[in-house]
């Protein structure tokens, strides 16, 4: 009996060993998890440690089923694992954080499925899917939930008063104003609510259609709870002339109180209308542990997990990042000539961590000016890349009016119409130049960079041109001026 017990837990220990190996080899993704799970200022993902503990507990709970599952090496899963690793390398080298942290749990699932077979992979589906509720890529929903909150409040105040004016995310009441920031979107309540509903269905072994209904119910209750929270705070501010405790002190914990009421409704409704649990559950029959994982399959999985990142690292080491060239423009033909760059220009692009930034200016005989900006990175990384949350082609001094793609004799550019604080308009043409190719779409530029960065250190730059608009409504004069300039001088 003792020997049988040791055999039964062997697959579990193999799973944990694979999890540890994947964590160590693909550490940049778990590092993001740890950073977000320990962020007690922006506490959206601080529930991550609890989610991880639940995943381990569910894994231990299913150890008998996994021990009894037939073990068979899966070549298709191994090929899928290789493809997923390559995609992870591309996203990691391209510094597309939301994608590489999303691929990480899938790498683990494919590694287990390749080693033990599809049956074990299916048994592992819930804990891996549940883990995604702790992955910080949910932030992409923040803006949508924020807009939905503003839309719901518009309806609430139309029904109950007071009369409000809503501009964007700002709600003006007669005696004050409230800004519905991204933290008011209720994203944390939504994620935690879905986690509670998913675990509730798993512990009860509910059918999948019932689980989907429970998730939809919980999502609705989480949305409603957040709307009630924000509505109550604004109403309290109106009724107390902005002296309410809810207004002067953070209302975040008040929101958790409202969410707790939503949980009570959830459990009450699922108890009343959900499927009944059997009064007496039959004992689990003894299981035959079956053979251990084939060593050849386990070895193949480990080789793929380790070799692909190792080869990528070795090839990049053999080709160090080249020095950046001066990249000065060729001498423009008449009627263009160089002019001093305006250091007081309202156009201040922002690219943190850039290895090279250059500004030029040119004028023609008619006195029209074109500003040129170029930024380059020897190696892109998180916090220092062409495309990111803190990067901006327009900068803070200009307000975006419209954007579209435009074709020129020098290729495609992204055209952006902007206006400064005085209302003066201008056009900015820009594009990304990555690994020998030009792009107007930032995601395409980053993915192309990531593909090349698997084996080398490709150059990455952005080139932009700006011309002031005249009196025309469509900035046709500025567009003509930029076409004329590009025909005379390029980098």
- Confidence at 246, pLDDT banded by 50, 70, 90: confident
User: Token match 């995310």: residue?
Assistant: 169
Q: Which of 1-15, 286-300, 435-449 has the lowest mean pLDDT?
A: 1-15
Q: How many domains does the chain have?
A: 3
**Is residue 121 located within the same domain as residue 5?**
yes
CB 21 within 8 A of CB 309: no
pLDDT at residue 331, as a whole number: 59
CB within 8 A of 134, min separation 6: which ones?
33, 37, 45, 47, 48, 51, 52
Q: Are residues 357 and 456 in the same domain?
A: yes
Most confident range (mean pLDDT) of 72-81, 155-164, 165-174 is 72-81
* 3-state secondary structure (DSSP) of residue 326: coil
Which residue has tokens 């540890």? 20
- Find the mean pLDDT for residues 147-161: 90
Has residue 152 got a pLDDT over 60? yes
Q: Mark whether 341 and 483 lie in a shared domain.
A: yes
In-domain check, residue 254? yes
Q: Which two tokens stand for residue 386?
A: 């062409």
* 329 belongs to a structural domain: no
Band of residue 330 on the pLDDT scale cut at 50, 70, 90: low
CA 7 vs CA 4, 150, 205: distances in Å:
5, 57, 26
Residue 20 domain boundaries: 1-134+290-318
Phi and psi, residue 325, nearest 5°: -80, 165
Per-residue confidence (pLDDT) for residue 2, from 0 to 100 = 37
Whether residues 183 and 107 share a domain: the answer is no
Q: Look at 93-107, 353-367, 439-453 and tell me which has the smallest mean pLDDT.
A: 353-367
As a whole number of Å, the end-to-end CA separation of the chain is 76
Q: Above 70 in pLDDT, residue 29?
A: yes
422 & 405 share domain? yes
**Would you say residue 328 lies in a domain?**
no
Does residue 407 sit within a domain? yes
Q: What confidence tier does 373 reach under pLDDT thresholds 50, 70, 90?
A: very high
281-312 residue pLDDT tens: 555 545 444 455 568 888 999 999 999 999 99
Which tens digit of pLDDT belongs to each residue from 254-263?
888 999 999 9
Q: Is pLDDT larger for residue 83 or for residue 361?
A: 83
Give the model's pLDDT for residue 8: 35
Q: Do 356 and 414 lie in a common domain? A: yes
**pLDDT for residue 448 is more than 50:** yes
* For residue 433, pLDDT beyond 60: yes
What pLDDT is stored for residue 287 in this prediction? 46
Residues 242 and 353 in one domain: no
Cβ count near 142 (within 10 Å): 18
Whether residue 259 is found in the same domain as residue 361? no
Give the residue-averaged pLDDT of 127-135: 96
Are 343 and 482 in a shared domain?
A: yes
Residues 194, 201: Cα–Cα separation, whole Å: 11
Residue 461 included in any domain = yes
The residues near 225 (Cβ < 8 Å, ≥ 6 apart) are 186, 189, 255, 258, 259, 261, 262
Q: pLDDT-based confidence at 279, cuts 50/70/90?
A: low
Higher pLDDT, 319 or 75: 75
Residues 6 or more apart whose Cβ sits within 8 Å of residue 439: 431, 432, 433, 445, 448
Whether 225 and 363 share a structural domain: no
Residues 148 and 123 in one domain: no
Report yes or no on 282 lying in a domain: no
The pLDDT of residue 93 = 94
Does residue 486 register a pLDDT over 50? yes
Q: Give the C-alpha separation, 64 to 68, whole Å.
A: 6
331: in domain: no
* Residue 332 is assigned to a structural domain of this protein: no
pLDDT in tens, 69-123: 888 889 999 999 999 999 999 999 999 999 999 999 999 999 999 999 899 999 9
Spatial CB neighbours of 313, under 8 Å, sequence gap ≥ 6:
none
pTM of the full predicted structure? 0.86
**Which H helix or E strand runs over 467?**
strand 460-468
Provide the pLDDT for residue 170: 86
**In this structure, are 378 and 481 located in the same domain?**
yes
Calculate the average pLDDT of the chain: 87
The arrangement of strands across the sheet holding 176-179 comes to: 165-167, 170-173, 176-179
């Amino acid at each position: 009996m003792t020997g049988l017990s040791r055999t039964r837990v062997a697959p579990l220990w193999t799973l944990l060993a694979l999890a540890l190996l994947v964590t160590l080899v693909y550490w940049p993704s778990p590092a993001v998890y740890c950073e977000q799970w320990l962020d007690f200022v922006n506490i959206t993902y601080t529930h991550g440690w609890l989610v991880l503990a639940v995943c381990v507990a569910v894994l231990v709970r299913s150890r008998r089923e996994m021990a009894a599952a037939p073990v068979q090496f899966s070549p298709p899963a191994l090929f899928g694992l290789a493809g997923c690793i390559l995609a992870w390398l591309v996203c990691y080298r391209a510094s597309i954080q939301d994608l590489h942290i999303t691929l990480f749990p899938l790498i683990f699932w494919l590694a287990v499925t390749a080693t033990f077979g599809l049956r074990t992979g299916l048994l592992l589906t819930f804990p891996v899917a549940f883990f995604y509720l702790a992955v910080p890529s949910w932030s992409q929903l923040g803006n949508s939930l924020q807009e939905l909150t503003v839309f719901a409040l518009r309806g609430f105040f139309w029904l109950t008063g007071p009369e409000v004016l809503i501009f964007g995310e700002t709600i003006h009441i007669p005696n004050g104003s409230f800004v519905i920031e991204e933290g008011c979107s209720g994203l944390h309540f939504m994620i935690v609510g879905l986690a509670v509903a998913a675990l509730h269905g798993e512990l009860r072994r509910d059918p999948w259609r019932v689980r989907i209904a429970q998730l939809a119910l919980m999502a609705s209750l989480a949305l409603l709870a957040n709307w009630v929270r924000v509505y109550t705070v604004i109403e309290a501010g109106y009724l107390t002339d902005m002296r309410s405790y809810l207004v002067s002190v953070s209302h975040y914990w008040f929101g958790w109180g409202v969410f707790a009421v939503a949980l009570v409704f959830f459990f009450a409704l699922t108890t009343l209308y959900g499927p009944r649990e059997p009064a007496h559950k039959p004992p689990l029959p003894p299981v035959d542990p079956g053979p251990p994982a084939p060593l050849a399959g386990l070895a193949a999985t480990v080789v793929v997990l380790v070799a692909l990142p190792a080869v990528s690292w070795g090839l990049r080491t053999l080709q160090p990042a080249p020095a950046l060239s001066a990249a000065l423009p060729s001498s423009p033909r008449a009627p263009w000539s160089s002019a001093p760059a305006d250091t007081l220009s309202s156009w201040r692009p922002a690219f943190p961590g850039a290895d090279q930034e250059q500004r030029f200016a040119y004028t023609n005989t008619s006195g029209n000016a074109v500003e040129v900006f170029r930024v380059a990175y020897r190696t892109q990384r998180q916090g220092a890349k062409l495309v990111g949350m803190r990067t901006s082609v327009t900068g803070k001094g200009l307000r975006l009016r419209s954007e579209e793609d435009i074709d020129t004799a020098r290729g495609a550019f992204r055209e952006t119409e902007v206006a400064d604080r005085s209302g003066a308009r201008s056009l900015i043409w820009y594009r990304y130049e990555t690994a020998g190719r030009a792009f107007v779409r930032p995601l395409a530029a980053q993915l192309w960079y990531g593909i090349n960065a698997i084996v080398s250190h490709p150059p990455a730059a952005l080139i932009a041109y700006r011309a002031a608009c005249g009196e025309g409504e469509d900035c046709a004069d500025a567009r003509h001026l930029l076409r004329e300039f590009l025909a005379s001088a390029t980098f």
